[in-house]
Amino acid sequence: MENVALKKEEIKAINPEQLKKLQDFNAFMDKARLSLGELSIQYEFQKADILSQIAVQQQNISDLEKAIKEEYGDIRINIETGEIVKQEE
């Protein structure tokens, strides 16, 4: 047992194959983290863009509803056909 302990103390580095595997793993993890960061940023930009488009469309529909109400009064519309449905009191 003492002989094994002595040999372990003499070893100053891991073998080249193990070092290569550790370096490859480290490189992979660095690339994976970078990719996740880029995806996260892209997601946030796309999310902000879509939310902005939704806000614009909500304003457009609000303006259209207002114009329709001014022209036709307080009505209901069949969204599939465009027909005016009698407003129930």
Q: Which residues contact 75 (CB under 8 A, 6 or more apart)?
A: 68, 69, 84, 85, 87
First-to-last CA distance in the chain?
A: 97
Q: Which residue has the higher pLDDT, 27 or 6?
A: 27
Whole-structure pTM value:
0.61
Q: Is the pLDDT of residue 6 over 90?
A: no
pLDDT of residue 71: 93
Give the percent of the chain with pLDDT over 90.
76
- Over residues 9-34, the mean pLDDT reads 94
- Over residues 46-66, the mean pLDDT reads 97
Question: pLDDT (tens digit, 9 = 90+) per residue, 60-69?
Answer: 999 999 999 9
